[in-house]
Structure 1
Amino acid sequence: MIIAVDFDGTIVEHEYPKIGKEIPFAIDTLKKLQEEQHILILWSVREGQLLEEAIAFCRERGLEFYAENRNFPEEHGRGKGYSRKLKADLFIDDRNLGGLPDWGVIYQMIKNGSYRCGGFDIPIEGHGKTRRASGKKKNIFLRIGEAIDKGEF
């Protein structure tokens, strides 16, 4: 999967523009996900020197991202056809609905391809289990409806 990861409040405690303390197991979990062939993109409000500081912080700990604030390392500028919106299967961010789970929980969600919500297992989009033959993603309500129809709820 392509996974976009926020920096402030997700990899480190939120001290923007300073770099906060590393959140326990964040770097180790991200390195493990890379070992399992997931592509990681640093997705941050940081730009310029502040972004470079975040990249250096991760690099010093052995974590290299495929790209930063873009889909591919070679993307540049804001010209025609350029969009800062990332095309990722999953976004890890402390601003998620419900906040940031513990990094061990995040790892298990990705490894298992689902997460618990209100007592139900919801498949993670892009994990290979929720794609239609046409390539279009099913929305959450359609997937929940199908799970109810199958008696999984």
Structure 2
Amino acid sequence: MYICVDFDGTIVDHRYPGIGEPVPMAVTWLLRLQSCGARLILFTMRSDDPRFGTLLTDAVQYLESNGVKLFGVNCNPDQKEWTVSPKAYGHVYVDDSAFGCPLIMPKGFARPCVDWKKVGPQLEHLCLSRSW
């Protein structure tokens, strides 16, 4: 199962270009999903650019330092076999800006963020119940 996951507002609080506080339960659920076989793809607007710095690399390093192993970064390496589309292919996309995504507003956060207490179990159920 391919899961494309946004960064700001989904894994960390919106503090762009900085990295905000962790969204409650985000890393915990990403680790659980990866342990059940999900292939995690970081799908973010962050990029590395001489004008702005290493914003994408910083996000990748944040995840790696928390034990999250990414299958891809803004791309799905497996799709190169069947398409040249720049859109990363995933079975599911988790993004605080996605219509219908459950959100919470933790104290001190800049904006609402993904409610992983609701999203995590649903993704785990999908990961464990379907053959991808």
| Same fold? TM cut 0.5 | yes
Which residue of structure 1 aligns with residue 96 of structure 2?
94
Deviation at 1:100, TM superposition (A): 3.9
Unaligned regions of 5+ residues in structure 1, if any?
76-80, 114-126, 130-153
Inter-partner Cα distance in structure 2 for 1:97 and 1:35: 27
Unpaired runs of at least 5, structure 2: 49-53, 104-114
TM normalised by structure 1 equals 0.66
The residue type paired with residue 28 of structure 2 is D
Comparing both chains, which one has the higher relative contact order based on Cα–Cα distances under 8 Å and sequence gaps of 6 or more? 2
Q: Give, in angstroms, the shift of residue 83 of structure 1.
A: 2.6
Q: Match for residue 116 of structure 2?
A: 103
Distance in structure 1 (CA, Å) of the matches to 2:4 and 2:12: 15
Q: Does 1:84 align with 2:97?
A: no
Q: Is the 8 A contact 1:2 1:38 kept in 2?
A: yes
Aligned equivalents of 1:10, 1:42: Cα separation in 2: 11
**CA–CA separation in structure 1 for the residues paired with 2:33 and 2:3:** 9
Q: CA RMSD in A?
A: 2.3
What is the count of residue pairs matched by the alignment?
112
Q: Report sequence identity in percent.
A: 34
